[in-house]
Amino acid sequence: MQTCNVSLLHKVKPWLLPALGILFLSLFSGHSIAKADQWQKGQHAFYRTGSLLIPALTPTATFTPTPTPTSAWPVPCAAVGAADAASPLCTTTPSPTPTSAEKPDLTITAMNWRFLPTGCSSVPQMAPPVLDITVANIGTAAAGPFHLLLNNTSVPVDSGLAAGATTTIPFANGFNPQGDNMATVDSSHQVDELDESNNESTLTLFLPIPTVIPTCTPTSGTPTATATPSPTVTPTNTPVKVFSVHIGVEVPKTTVQVSETITALVTIENQSIGCQYPVLELTLFQLGDPIFRFDSPADVHPSVAAQTVYTLTATSPGTTTLQARAYGERYCDDFWQWTYVSGFSEVITSVVPPAPGDGNGDGAVDAGDLSACILELFDGDGAAVADVAGGTYAGTTGCDANQDNIIDAGDLSCTVLLIFAGADACGRPLSAVDTPLAHLRVGEAVSGQNGEHVVPITLSSNGHAVAAAAFSLQVGDAFDPTDGDGDGLPDMVHFPELTEDALFTATWQAGRLDVAMTQLTPPFTPLPDGALLAITVLSQNTTVAFDPVAPPSLGSTTGASVPLYVETSRVFLPTVLR
């Protein structure tokens, strides 16, 4: 904070003291003199300010200097000494306020294509296309030299552009005749502009068949000075064959499910006779909602077969048009000419969300969807419905059978209810706020024979009717996944509370045991509290804990997800010497 040293006042000339008193009053009366103190707390800022009010001074009978008749008031600063030049009682001539510098501002105002006008040609050919780009300087000053970039082709404009002027630059090459084009003015940042954010523009082109340039008819030469001039021979014009192919797009069905994969077959048939028309590039793209992911490239080049297969995976609901276009070269009359195809083909395809419980997207809710839901639970892409297409198994949103936007054990029991009781068979989601939490934990290890230990996974339902559970366990190398009895489960895994009327799986992969269980026949009998699962491990510095790859979850007898508290502690088994 700034301070004032009062001891310096004795250096002020006496005739300035009354004026300084007035000055201090005008500066401080009713105005803040303290700098704002500011400090941070969390994400919120707090401020503190202070003000000092100086009351009006009561004038006293003090020394009054005798005015000098020849003095002007106020005193010009140039007329006083250097020590008094900073006094507020002298006047200075204010300097004019500088205005902001004038600058140019380049922008693209138009992008138009055209075919070059040509009279005739000595050989059959197509009229070449040109893309014209118009650049305007909407700023207040002239622009110096700059570059105009179209896709990957840059053209210098050395003459610059005056304020308010426009110029059109033609591009005979470098543009995409069947797709998107991006143009950028001042791409090399040579010009200091008023606005640098308006330098880009895009244009999507789908050029039609170029105009055929007519063949010129040669005239007879000048007759020679012979008695019998040679007769004039007019050649017959050879008709130019237009590059024309037929493109077909076929899909196995026009209504698919989310996460369903289909193939699109694009067929090219050459309809022109007498000339070669190799198609060098073929493009399949979507018009409308981007509902498909292209698992194979949308563009195929530099050569295209008569039939091309594209693999598409539906990612979201919506409707789109699959459209195929191609272009290439023609070889006719001993020369090559780049040109475009005359047609395209399209098919309208819709993607609809699968029904709740239809985890595999086959249009039905059955036992296969239980398997799909279990695979989706443990595929590593999390429990969110939005991520269902990721991971090692591309399930569908139908895995969220109870429609609570989470894929967990509640969807297992709900899928069973949907199979047997049809739509709307599942109950509403349970709220962790309104109901107590069930409890799932890794229990204490119990010593067994030959240095083995049995570790239980215990359930405390806390009043919930639990019909399904799913979780992953981290188990070290001390676990033996051998299935000696051929029942589909590792011999070291036991389900003490489940009956034959239940589905239970335990899959071992890379140190992780994925476990899922659910009752199969409604009405469900709730699982009792106690050990849901017991696993046997060898005592070799082994830890047993829940794995976050599939967060533990429970499903109720009504198909809802059960609010759950999971104890995250690990059970450590020390090494035992045999």
> For residues 559 and 105, what is the distance between their CA atoms, to the nearest angstrom?
63
Residue after which a domain boundary falls, among 322, 352, 382: 352
Q: In b/e form, how buried is each residue of 78-88, taking b as 16+ CB within 10 angstroms?
A: eeeeeeeeebe
What pLDDT is recorded for position 213?
60
Contacts with 6 (C-beta within 8 Å, 6 or more apart), sequence order: none
449 and 413 both lie in a single domain = no
Edge-to-edge strands, sheet with 292-294: 245-250, 261-270, 307-314, 292-294
Question: Residue 147 has what pLDDT?
Answer: 93
Q: Are 463 and 527 found together in one domain?
A: yes
Where does residue 144 fall: left (phi above 0), alpha (psi -120 to 50 degrees), or beta otherwise? beta
Among residues 309, 329, 352, the one where a domain terminates is: 352
For β-strands 75-76 and 90-91, DSSP reports them as parallel
The pair phi, psi for residue 82, each rounded to 5°, is -65, -35
Same domain, 318 and 276: yes
Half-sphere exposure of 361 (CA within 13 A, CB side): 23
On whether residue 72 sits in a domain, the answer given is no
**Do 148 and 255 lie in a common domain?**
no
Residue appearing with tokens 């509403």: 428
34 vs 32: CA distance, rounded Å: 6
Packing angle of the helix pair 367-377, 409-421 (nearest 10 deg):
170
**Distance of alpha carbon 416 from alpha carbon 26, whole angstroms:** 85
- Compute CA 16 distance to the chain's CA centroid, rounded to the nearest angstrom: 70
Considering the domain architecture, whether residues 253 and 338 belong to the same structural domain is answered as yes
Helices then strands, each counted (H, E), the chain: 3, 35
Contact 238, 215 (CB under 8 A): yes
The answer to whether residue 529 is domain-embedded is yes
Determine, yes or no, domain membership for 556.
yes
Diameter over CA atoms, the chain: 136
Domain membership flag for residue 380: yes
101 assigned to some structural domain? no
Specify whether 291 is located in the same domain as 261: yes
My answer on whether 460 and 566 are in the same domain is yes
Query: 346: closest CA among 257, 285, 258?
Result: 285
- Entry field: residues in the chain: 578
Count of domains forming the chain: 4
Same domain? For 276 and 402 the reply is no
Does residue 25 form part of some domain?
no
Which pLDDT score is estimated for 265?
A: 85
Q: Which helix (H) or strand (E) holds 377?
A: helix 367-377
Give the residue ranges of DSSP H helices in 398-510.
409-421
In a domain, 340, yes or no: yes
523 prior amide bond cis, ω within 30: yes
**Do 411 and 343 share a structural domain?**
no
Same-domain check for residues 341 and 373: no
Q: Residue 263 falls within a domain, yes or no?
A: yes
**What is the C-alpha to C-alpha distance for residues 227 and 25, in angstroms, rounded to an integer?**
121
Same-domain pairing of 513 and 483? yes
At CA 186, angle to CA 182 and CA 187, rounded to 5? Answer: 55
Per-residue pLDDT of the chain (578 residues; tens, 9 = 90+): 343 333 333 334 444 444 444 433 343 443 333 333 333 333 333 333 333 333 434 444 444 454 544 444 444 554 445 444 444 445 555 555 445 579 999 999 988 888 776 666 555 555 678 889 999 999 999 999 999 999 888 899 988 899 999 999 999 877 887 778 899 999 989 999 999 999 998 888 766 655 556 666 655 444 444 444 444 444 333 333 344 556 778 888 888 877 778 888 887 765 554 555 555 667 787 877 788 888 877 666 555 666 788 888 888 788 888 887 766 655 555 555 555 444 456 677 777 778 899 888 777 888 899 988 999 988 888 888 888 878 888 788 889 999 888 999 999 999 999 988 887 888 766 555 557 899 999 988 888 777 788 889 999 999 999 999 999 998 877 788 899 998 888 999 988 866 677 888 899 888 889 999 998 888 888 989 999 999 988 765 678 889 888 889 999 999 999 999 998 656 655 533 33
Q: Which residues of 389-415 are buried (b: 16+ CB within 10 A; e: fewer)?
A: bebebbbbbbbbbbbbebbbbbbbbbb
For residues 411 and 357, what is the distance between their CA atoms, to the nearest angstrom? 8
CA distance linking residue 378 with residue 131, whole number of Å: 53
Question: Which residue among 324, 352, 380 closes a domain?
Answer: 352
Q: Are residues 406 and 448 in the same domain?
A: no
The CATH code of the domain that includes 291 is 2.60.40.10
Tell me the pTM. 0.46
Task: Look up the CATH number of the domain holding residue 481.
Answer: 2.60.40.680
First to last CA, the chain: 77
HEC profile of 123-141: CCEECCEEEEEEEEECCCC
DSSP 561: B
- Give the domain extent around 554: 438-573
Angle at 294 between CA 292 and CA 298, to 5 degrees: 120
Phi first, then psi: give them for residue 416, nearest 5 degrees.
-60, -45
Give the angle subtended at the CA of 213 by the CAs of 210 and 218, to the nearest 5°. Answer: 170
